[in-house]
Amino acid sequence: MAFWSSTSVFTSKVPRKILFMFTLSLSVTYLFYSLMSCYNSLQFPLQENYVYQGRLVTEETTFVTLREKLYSASQGFTEFTEAERTTAFSTVKDHAEAEQRTVEWIRTQASPTKSAATTAAAAYHTTALEREHQEFSTTDSELRMNCTSDYGEKKLPQAIIIGVKKGGTRALLEALRVHPDVRAVGNEPHFFDRNYEKGLDWYRDLMPSTLEGQITMEKTPSYFVTNHAPKRIHSMARDIKLIIVVRNPVTRAISDYTQTLSKKPEIPTFEVLAFKNRTLGLIDASWSALRIGIYALHLESWMQYFPLSQMHFVSGERLIVDPAGEMAKVQDFLGLKRIVTDKHFYFNKTKGFPCLKKPEDSSTPRCLGKSKGRTHPKIDADVIRRLHKFYKPFNMMFYQMTGQNFEWELEDDSESRGSQD
């Protein structure tokens, strides 16, 4: 009875509406705090999943983008710009920082105007990079060296003018350099005879940079008479193309002597050097000026390593009287379009050989330097006759080996053709 009386008093003092509101507020408060306690467990897994999904999308996009860039670089150098390449390589190297920038970008919803190349490189994973390297077999260092659209790539030569000294090699090289698909070293590297110990990297670094479709060349005439040059060149490139400019060996020997005489005026006369005993007619074949002209002897060493199909023999005499005709054959041998034609040549009567000119240009033709075109000293006719007789069997052997007849025996007077250097 007492309990009901106390309840009655309480309900009488506090209106029922206030009691209901109080109870409702307690319920709502309890529900709110219950939801807040579960918020972290509900929020962070979702947030991590969002980041993970964002990274997945970014990595997938990056993989495709960088693949397209690498493929473009492997097909042609123009589409993969230097700025993009620098960004990609620097980002891959700093991979951890790139990952952090990616997460921050996703969390803060970075501006969509950010460059595609930078965003893609920043999210690129090491595993994806390894897959790309396996697919394209291209390392970072190779890309830095090879994919340079501005300068091309330095390569070992695909063709070499290996001889012969004083045969017309400089004239041939200068004519070839007119061709847009030929890049050649100006100076003679002498790698395979004098600088071989410096290594192929040193040799490659001497070469000019070339673009796709261009041929790298060099000329060193002494290779033809160097015993170990054939083996060394073969070990570098078995499929290399070799060009040999040959000339009447008697005229060539006189030209060789003329060059030496201009540097050393005190040397003995040609007649003295050419014979061991002139009275007996014993020719000194050990003298380099005469030994170089025994072409069959030197060619035999080259044929041990290279087939004739990889060699092309240029007539030094025809290169003077018909430079366009000889150049057409050389361009065919190298697989080049016949761009250097008769329009590129002008015969200089003073020097006695053709000079180069641009067909669309009316400027003065460009001739070889003062070291070319020296007047030969007068040589005794009997000495010339004896030398022709000495060389004849070697020339015949050379004709048979090459399958070409250079008709040097038809030259009764060595001064009647090619009397100048």
Q: How many CB atoms lie within 10 A of CB 394?
A: 16
Q: How confident is the model over 383-417, as pLDDT tens digits?
A: 999 999 999 999 999 999 999 999 998 864 444 44
Domains of the chain by residue range: 153-252+288-371
Q: How confident is the model over 268-285, as pLDDT tens digits?
A: 999 999 999 988 989 999
* 414 or 350: which leads in pLDDT: 350
Q: Which of 18-27, 130-139, 247-256 has the lowest mean pLDDT?
A: 130-139
Residue 116 has pLDDT above 50, yes or no: no
Tokens of 226: 């160097």
Query: Which fold would CATH assign to domain 153-252+288-371?
Result: Rossmann fold (3.40.50)
Q: Is 276 a catalytic residue?
A: no
For tokens 């005439």, the residue is 221
Query: Three-class SS of residue 265?
Result: coil
Q: What is the pLDDT of residue 52?
A: 35
Q: Are residues 120 and 65 in contact, defined by beta-carbon separation less than 8 angstroms? A: yes
Binding residues for 3'-phosphoadenylyl sulfate: 166-170, 247, 255, 372-376
Average pLDDT over every residue of 362-370: 60
Q: How would you class 279 by CB atoms within 10 Å of its CB: exposed for 0-12, middle for 13-18, buried for 19 or more?
A: exposed
Q: In terms of pTM, does the model score above 0.85?
A: no
Q: What is the DSSP string of 209-230?
A: EE-TT-EEEEE-GGGGG-TTHH
* 358 or 310: which leads in pLDDT: 310
Report which listed range, 13-22, 108-117, 118-127, 165-174, is most confident.
Answer: 165-174
Residue 115 has pLDDT above 50, yes or no: no
Going by C-alpha positions, the residue among 75, 116, 411, 8 that lies closest to residue 213 is 75
Q: What is the pLDDT of residue 231?
A: 98
Confidence bin at 216 (pLDDT 50/70/90): very high
The active-site residue out of 166, 219, 241, 357 is 166
Tokens of 347: 């015969």
Q: Which of 115-119, 156-160, 254-258, 261-265 has the lowest mean pLDDT?
A: 115-119
Q: What is the pLDDT of residue 347?
A: 84
Average pLDDT over every residue of 151-176: 96
Average pLDDT over every residue of 242-271: 96
* 393 residue type, one letter: P
For residues 325 and 341, what is the distance between their CA atoms, to the nearest angstrom? Answer: 8
Q: How confident is the model over 57-72, as pLDDT tens digits?
A: 344 444 444 334 333 3
Query: Three-class SS of residue 244?
Result: strand
Q: What is the mean pLDDT of the chain?
A: 75
Q: How confident is the model over 313-344, as pLDDT tens digits?
A: 999 999 999 999 999 999 999 999 999 999 99
Residue 8 has pLDDT above 70, yes or no: no
Handedness of CA 333, 335, 338, 340 (dihedral sign): negative
Q: What is the pLDDT of residue 366?
A: 65
Residue 420 has pLDDT above 70, yes or no: no
